[in-house]
Structure 1
Amino acid sequence: MPQRLRKLIGTVLLLLLVVFWALSAMALAQGRVTELGWFLQLVCYVLLGALWVVPGGLLIWWMERPDKRA
């Protein structure tokens, strides 16, 4: 698959990931996190805000791979 096509697909997937992650994090935070103590709330909010970077980074790594030479 050419890099240009991977970048197009990856961009769409990255946007979908961010939207899905944000909506899921909001639903989780409103339902469960508000019942925790302040320190656990802080930990949850930091994790929910930062963990999307792992799948996003893997997706970007896949997008940036060079084309295979024939």
Structure 2
Amino acid sequence: MTPSWRKPFGMFMILALILVWVVIVASFSGWVGRWHPLVQALFYVVTGLVWIAPLKPLLAWMETGRWR
């Protein structure tokens, strides 16, 4: 069996997704920093979990070559 290029490329895409998401969320830090600390915590918990949603199809593609 020959190794698939999808897994290394998929790992790169996961790292790129995390990097882009961190930059987007961090760009809101000045604005979010003015909020009440509990609202800030909720914001960061939600944004800390939202980036996981695109991983399921990406991981499926890495394993099978199909997006579904």
Fold conserved between structures, TM > 0.5: yes
User: Cα deviation per residue 1:14-53 (whole Å; 9 max; x = unaligned)?
Assistant: 111111111211111x222112112211110101111111
Q: Greater share of helix residues, 1 or 2?
A: 1
Relative to 1, partners in 2 of residues 1:16 and 1:66: Cα closer, same or farther, differing over 3 Å? closer
Percent identical residues = 28
In structure 1, C-alpha distance between the alignment counterparts of 2:48 and 2:55, rounded to whole Å: 13
In structure 1, C-alpha distance between the alignment counterparts of 2:64 and 2:12, rounded to whole Å: 17
The aligned counterpart of 2:13 is: 13
Q: Could you state the TM-score of these two structures normalised by the residue count of structure 2?
A: 0.75
In structure 1, C-alpha distance between the alignment counterparts of 2:51 and 2:63, rounded to whole Å: 18
| CA-based RMSD | 2.3
User: Paired residues, what number?
Assistant: 65
